[in-house]
Amino acid sequence: MSDPIERSGLRPEFWKTTPLERMTQNEWEALCDGCGKCCMNKLEDEDSGEVVLTRIACRLFDDTTCRCSQYPIRHQFVPECISLSPKNLDSHLYWMPETCAYKLLRQGKPLYDWHPLISGDPQSVHDARVSMQSRTLPEFEISEDDWEDHIIEEPT
């Protein structure tokens, strides 16, 4: 039986040999581990610039699948949603979770064992309890004044 990566048309371990800027669109998209943390609302300290994640989900976030419910047309509903690309990666990395593959690779770090590209299983991110699956609150139910009460801890 062939490797799931090979069946997908992706080169084995492409992330170890290909710079982010040279990845194909399929390779770039495959780096997303499906944790959903980038779809959580964030708080930024005005003085220090420190960014923390909350468990307050974007209104388009599907808490069951950990995916955007309107991904192809999300900017129609959430104009400020970031479309991460090799061209804007460096200016947006500070918003990304510490476990994000794009951030890890830019920093020269390896992917975690639970990353679907390593494990071969998209469920591994959820099994490792890294994802936001079934752990979020909808943004329309929580006053922005109360977001600080819902900060999530990130590994350092």
Closest CA to 20 of 103, 111, 113: 103
For residue 114, list its beta bridge partners: none
Whole-angstrom distance, CA of residue 112 vs CA of residue 68: 23
Residue 133 scores a pLDDT above 90:
yes
pLDDT tens digits along 88-131: 999 998 889 999 999 999 999 999 999 999 999 999 999 999 99
Whole-angstrom distance, CA of residue 58 vs CA of residue 49: 21
Whole-angstrom distance, CA of residue 144 vs CA of residue 110: 35
Please state, rounded to an integer, the average pLDDT across all residues of the chain: 91
- 72 burial type by CB count under 10 A (0-12 exposed, 13-18 middle, 19+ buried): exposed
For residue 4, report the phi and psi dihedrals to the nearest 5 degrees.
Answer: -60, -35
Indicate the pTM of the whole model.
0.88
Number of C-beta neighbours around residue 116 at 10 A: 20
